[in-house]
């Protein structure tokens, strides 16, 4: 089912269905649907396919945020600790390269290298991280708004690697062996794409009538991605065939930009993609979804949780969507409507078509930090 009500497209406006020009009739129907539909808001909790029960839960213990124990940064800290222990008694099997400089694909290759000591070192880090992940999952499941969760999708950059999936599988074994009945499954889409595709589930109904695609951005603590997402609703109306048509990627952590420089770069990436859509005749809707860390209010202000972003993005003195409004190229003579939501929520929304067999499910995104969201399906 498409994420809009068919009722919005039924009432024939003046001339609709009577024009000899099919394009004019289609445009009239499209405009009628737009007039009839309430514009989507920022960080809405009641969406067409799911209710967002909670997101960005900030669990704490005496050492700080609980989620930080199962972040991508935490895994590298654990690996670094194991390397230090081994180096005290011999050579480090991973060589002299700093842990932060070792990519996930390089660590995956170590597991396949045939070097038992190096592989054992990685497995030791994975095991310790899996125990931390299992402990974090238990803490979430004790929250009132997470009770009854049947499945948790694991997303974020680490989820697309072999080491990440090993850690997820081991955490699932630990949880189930201890009597915690929960499924842990990897996110279906690549982590570069999930945070873009999920924005389709924020889009109003008129986006899917007369348009092929939307703009989407995923802003993280290390990377920034902007893409054009095709909904392909004619192939599967549940949006399970959605694809990222074009993608711009920037690892901003290397450049250490100011907040204003980051905003300018987002707009430049988006405008370049709008230009590609015009040249390739992709019917781009004047709509964009942005995934961003933190708690977001109805005005699109990041209240808290944006500490990993470049510069200060929190508080009423900064509104990302308003900052972008004057910088984006118009689409079909309209300034794009931009909607902001939490990045874990948006990643989770990409999984909506694959979660129809459960009622309550959640997402944990293992990135610079640990994002989280819990959902209840509104349609089975």
Is 110 in a helix, a strand, or coil? helix
In 41-100 the beta strands, taken as DSSP E runs, fall at: 50-55, 60-61, 64-65
Residues 46, 165, single domain; the answer is: no
What pLDDT, on a 0 to 100 scale, did the predictor assign at position 14? Answer: 32
The reply to whether 256 and 170 lie within a common domain is no
Closest by CA to 374, choosing from 363, 187, 366, 48, is 363
**Percent of the chain at pLDDT exceeding 90:** 74
Walk across the sheet containing 50-55 and list its strands. 50-55, 370-377, 360-366, 151-155, 183-186
Distance CA 146, CA 136 (A): 12
pLDDT at 52: 98
**Structural domains in the chain (count):** 2
> Is the distance from CB of 236 to CB of 185 less than 8 angstroms?
no
- For tokens 């873009």, what's the residue? 196
pLDDT for residue 159 = 85
- Angstrom distance (rounded) from CA 350 to CA 146: 20
Question: Considering the entire predicted model, what is its pTM?
Answer: 0.87
127 and 194 co-located in one domain: no
Select from 356, 297, 237 the least CA-distant residue to 45: 297
pLDDT at 165 over 50: yes
Asked whether 287 and 336 are in contact (CB, 8 A), the reply is: yes
- Residue ending a domain, among 186, 209, 231, is 186
User: What pLDDT, on the 0 to 100 scale, is given for residue 377?
Assistant: 96
User: Is residue 213 located within the same domain as residue 163?
Assistant: no
**75-to-163, 166, 171 alpha-carbon distances in Å:** 10, 13, 14
DSSP secondary structure of 181-212 = --EEEE-SS-HHHHHHHGGGGGS-GGGGSS-S
- Could you tell me the pLDDT band of residue 10, with boundaries at 50, 70 and 90? very low
pLDDT (0 to 100) of residue 121: 95
What is the three-class DSSP state of 241?
coil
Query: In 3D, which of 222, 231, 244 has the Cα closest to residue 202?
Result: 231
The lowest-confidence range among 1-5, 77-81, 168-172, 307-311 is: 1-5
How far apart, in whole angstroms, are the C-alpha atoms of residue 331 and residue 350? 25
Q: Give the position of tokens 């015009």.
A: 278
Q: Is residue 24 very low, low, confident or very high in pLDDT (cuts 50, 70, 90)?
A: low
- Is residue 75 pLDDT above 60, yes or no? yes
Asked if residue 127 belongs to a domain, the reply is yes
Q: In terms of domains, do 158 and 241 share one? A: no
Domain boundary residue, one of 142, 159, 186: 186
Where residue 380 falls among pLDDT bands split at 50, 70, 90? low
Whether 262 and 147 map to the same domain: the answer is no
Q: What is the pLDDT of residue 326?
A: 87
* Among 283, 226, 284, CA closest to 250: 226
Q: Is the pLDDT of residue 308 over 50?
A: yes
Which tens digits make up the pLDDT trace of 309-337?
998 999 999 999 999 988 999 999 999 99
- Give yes or no: residues 207 and 299 share one domain: yes
Residue in the structure block whose two tokens are 């310790």: 128
Per-residue model confidence (pLDDT) at position 191: 86
Same domain, 361 and 327: yes
Q: Which residues pair with 366 in a beta bridge?
A: 370
355 near 209, Cβ under 8 Å?
Answer: no
Q: Please tell me the distance from the alpha carbon of residue 316 to that of residue 170, in angstroms, as a whole number.
A: 42
Instruction: Say if residue 12's pLDDT is above 60.
Output: no
289: left (phi over 0), alpha (psi -120 to 50) or beta: beta
CATH code of 298's domain: 3.30.420.40
- Of the residues 165, 186, 207, the one at which a domain ends: 186
pLDDT of residue 162: 93
- Tell me the HSE value of 368 on the side-chain side, using a 13 A CA sphere: 19
Same domain, 335 and 249: yes
Q: Is residue 238 part of a domain?
A: yes
CATH of the domain at 97: 3.30.420
Q: Tell me the HSE value of 32 on the side-chain side, using a 13 A CA sphere.
A: 18
Q: Do 234 and 113 lie in a common domain?
A: no
Does some domain include residue 220?
Answer: yes
What is d(CA 330, CA 279) in angstroms, rounded to the nearest whole number?
15
In whole angstroms, give the CA distance from residue 188 to residue 329. Answer: 32
pLDDT band of residue 67 (cuts 50, 70, 90) is confident
Give alpha helix (H) positions in the chain.
Answer: 22-36, 72-87, 104-112, 116-141, 162-177, 191-197, 252-255, 259-279, 320-325, 343-349
Residues 293, 170 share a domain: no
pLDDT at 2: 41
- Percent helix, strand, coil in the chain, to 5, is 40, 20, 35
Q: Is residue 1 part of a domain?
A: no
pLDDT in tens, 100-135: 999 999 999 998 888 999 999 999 999 999 999 999
Is 142 inside a domain boundary?
A: yes
> 138 and 211: one domain?
no
Structural domain boundaries enclosing 234: 6-56+190-377
């Amino acid at each position: 089912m498409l994420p809009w009500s068919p009722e919005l497209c039924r009432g024939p406006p003046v001339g609709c269905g009577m024009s000899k020009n099919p394009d004019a009739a289609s445009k009239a129907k499209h405009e009628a649907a737009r007039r009839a539909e309430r514009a989507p808001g920022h960080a809405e909790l009641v969406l067409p396919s799911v209710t967002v029960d909670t997101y960005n839960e900030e669990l704490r213990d005496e050492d700080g945020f609980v989620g930080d124990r199962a972040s991508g940064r935490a895994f590298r800290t654990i690996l670094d600790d194991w390397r230090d222990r081994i180096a005290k008694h011999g050579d480090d099997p991973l060589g002299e390269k700093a842990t932060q400089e070792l990519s996930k694909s390089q660590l995956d290759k170590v597991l396949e290298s045939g070097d038992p000591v190096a592989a054992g070192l990685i497995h030791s880090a994975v095991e310790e991280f899996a125990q931390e992940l299992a402990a974090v999952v238990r803490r979430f499941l004790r929250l009132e708004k997470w009770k009854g969760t049947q499945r948790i999708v694991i997303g974020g950059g680490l989820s697309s690697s072999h080491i990440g999936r090993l850690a997820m599988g081991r955490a699932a074994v630990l949880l189930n062996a201890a009597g915690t009945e929960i499924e842990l499954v990897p996110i279906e889409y690549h982590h570069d794409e999930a945070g873009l595709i999920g924005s389709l589930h924020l889009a109003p109904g008129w986006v899917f009538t007369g348009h092929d695609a939307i703009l989407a951005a995923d802003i993280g603590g290390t990377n920034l991605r902007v893409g054009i997402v095709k909904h392909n609703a004619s192939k599967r109306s549940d949006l399970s065939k959605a694809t990222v048509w074009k993608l711009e990627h920037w690892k901003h952590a290397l450049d250490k930009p100011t907040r204003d420089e980051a905003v300018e770069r987002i707009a430049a990436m988006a405008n370049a993609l709008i230009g590609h859509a015009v040249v390739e005749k992709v019917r781009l809707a004047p709509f964009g979804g942005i995934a961003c860390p933190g708690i977001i209010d109805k005005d699109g202000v990041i209240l808290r949780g944006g500490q990993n972003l470049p510069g200060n993005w929190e508080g009423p003195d900064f509104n990302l969507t308003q900052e972008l409004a004057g910088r984006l190229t118009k689409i079909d003579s309209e300034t794009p409507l931009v909607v902001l939501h939490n990045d874990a929520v948006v990643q989770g929304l990409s999984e909506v078509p694959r979660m129809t067999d459960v009622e309550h499910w959640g997402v944990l995104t293992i990135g610079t930090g640990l994002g989280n969201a819990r959902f209840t399906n509104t349609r089975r």
